[in-house]
Amino acid sequence: MTEDEGSFPHPPDSGSDDSKESSSLQRSEQKKESGKISNRFLSRRYLRTTLWAGGLALFVKIFIFEAYGVPSSSMENTLLVGDCFFVDKFSYGATTPRTIPLTHIRIPHRQILPALRSPSRNDVIVFESTSTNATEEDARPMYYVKRCIALPGDTVEIAGKQVFINRVPRREVASCVFSAFTLPRGNREEGIFPKGFPYNRDWWGPRVVPYQGMKIKLTLENIDEWRSFIEREGHSIRFTLDGRIEISGVQGSVYTVERDYYFVLGDNRDNSQDSRYRGYIAHGDIIGRAMFLYWSWDNRIRFTRPFALLSSIRWDRIGMAVR
C-alpha cells in the first residue's frame, strides 16, 4: 500500500470539532432558556394559584365565615377562655367589610345580601359595640360574644336574677352561671344602663327593647336617658334657649327609632359586660351567629410554657356546636 492510498491516518478535521462544540453550546443554551421559561411559567402559576386562594379566603372571611376567640369568662360555661369558634356571617345578611381588609381601619359598611333569618332568642351572637355610656374618647368599637335574650319590641325585666321576657319567666340554658349573692333592689350599680336609673345587674327594667318605627316622647326628665341612644343613630340633640328640643337642628319632642335593637346577656350572669351596661345592640352591629369550636385551650398560659399550654388542649370541645 502506498502513501497515496492512505496508509497514514488523515490529520484531524478541525471544522468538524468546532461544529460539535458549537452544537453542544447551543443545546446547553437551549436547556438554560427552556429552564428559565419553565421557571417563569411555574412562578406565574404559583402566583395565580396563591392569588386565587388568597382572594377566596378573603371572600369567605368577609362574607361567609370568620374565626373568633374567647378572651374572657363572660360566657362560661357555654364558651371558655381560649375557645376558638367560627361565626356564620351569611345567615343574618352579608355586609360589606367593616374594616379595610388585613387592617383595623374602619370604613362605612352596609348590608348587600338579604338575610336568611333574623337573630332569635337564645342565639349566641358576635357583635361590635361601643358603650352607650362611653365618652367620645373611649367610644372605640370592640367585639363581644353574648346570648340574644330579647328581640325588638320585647319587654325585658330582671327581678332578683330571674329574667322575664314580656312578663314570662325565661328558662335559662343549663350552662348559665349565677352566684348565690343577689344585690339589693334599688341599689344602683356604677356603669349600669341607662344613666340615672336605680338598676343593677340583678334588678333591671322593665324596659321595651327599641324597634324600627318606635316613637319616643322626649322631655326634660328623660333627655339624658335617650341622648346617647339618639346620637348613636347619627343625630344631634339639644335644648334651645326657649326650652324646646332640637333633633339634628329640627324642633320636635318625638323621636322615631330608625333601627331594630336586641338585648343580650352573658351566660356568666354576674361577670359580663352586656346590655345591662352597654345598652341595646343594633341589628347592623351584629357580625353573625357562633357556630362551632375549631380549637380550645387555656390561652392564659404563656408560650414560654409550651408543655403546660399543650397539655391544656381541650380535645373534647373541638368540633362542639355552640348552643
- Three-state SS sequence of 59-79: HHHHHCEEEEECCCCCCCCCC
| Interval 98-150: pLDDT, tens | 777 767 777 888 888 888 999 999 999 999 876 544 444 444 568 899 999 99
Write down how long the chain is.
323
Average pLDDT over all residues of the chain: 84
**Residue with the larger pLDDT of the pair 34 and 129:** 129
pLDDT at 207 (0 to 100): 97
What CATH number does domain 64-214+257-317 carry, 1.10.3720.10, 2.10.109.10, 2.60.40.1180, 3.10.450.40?
Answer: 2.10.109.10
**Residue with the larger pLDDT of the pair 6 and 301:** 301
**Residue with the larger pLDDT of the pair 34 and 227:** 227
pLDDT at 202 (0 to 100): 97
The grid coordinates of residue 263 equal 338585648
Percent of the chain with pLDDT over 90: 54
8-state DSSP, 317:
G
The whole-number average pLDDT for the span 87-93 is: 90
The whole-number average pLDDT for the span 80-106 is: 84
- Please state the φ and ψ torsions of residue 316, each to the nearest 5 degrees: -70, -15
The whole-number average pLDDT for the span 174-182 is: 91
Integer distance in angstroms from the first to the last C-alpha of the chain?
108
Task: Give the 3-state secondary structure of residue 299.
Answer: coil
As beta bridge partners, residue 263 has 150
Q: Give domain limits for the chain.
A: 64-214+257-317
As beta bridge partners, residue 290 has 87
52: pLDDT confidence band, cut at 50, 70 and 90? confident
Percent of the chain with pLDDT over 70: 80
User: Above 60 in pLDDT, residue 31?
Assistant: no
Give the range among 33-42, 137-146, 267-276 with minimum mean pLDDT: 33-42
Q: How far is CA 307 from the centre of its chain?
A: 30
Q: Are strands 155-159 and 162-165 parallel, antiparallel or unpaired?
A: antiparallel
**Residue with the larger pLDDT of the pair 201 and 44:** 201
CB atoms within 10 A of CB 153: 15
The grid coordinates of residue 65 equal 365565615
Strands (E), the chain: 65-69, 83-88, 124-129, 142-150, 155-159, 162-165, 168-169, 203-208, 215-217, 237-239, 245-247, 250-251, 254-256, 261-265, 281-282, 286-296
**Residue with the larger pLDDT of the pair 76 and 95:** 76
pLDDT at 43 (0 to 100): 74
**Residue with the larger pLDDT of the pair 315 and 131:** 315
pLDDT at 205 (0 to 100): 95
**Contact between 244 and 127 (Cβ < 8 Å):** no
Q: Are strands 124-129 and 83-88 parallel, antiparallel or unpaired?
A: unpaired
The whole-number average pLDDT for the span 20-44 is: 60
pLDDT at 136 (0 to 100): 43
21: pLDDT confidence band, cut at 50, 70 and 90? low
User: Above 70 in pLDDT, residue 252?
Assistant: yes
User: Above 80 in pLDDT, residue 174?
Assistant: yes
CA distances from 223 to 192, 230, 231 (A): 17, 10, 12
7: pLDDT confidence band, cut at 50, 70 and 90? very low
User: Above 80 in pLDDT, residue 185?
Assistant: yes
The whole-number average pLDDT for the span 176-202 is: 93
pLDDT at 308 (0 to 100): 94
**Contact between 253 and 218 (Cβ < 8 Å):** yes
Q: How far is CA 60 from the centre of its chain?
A: 13
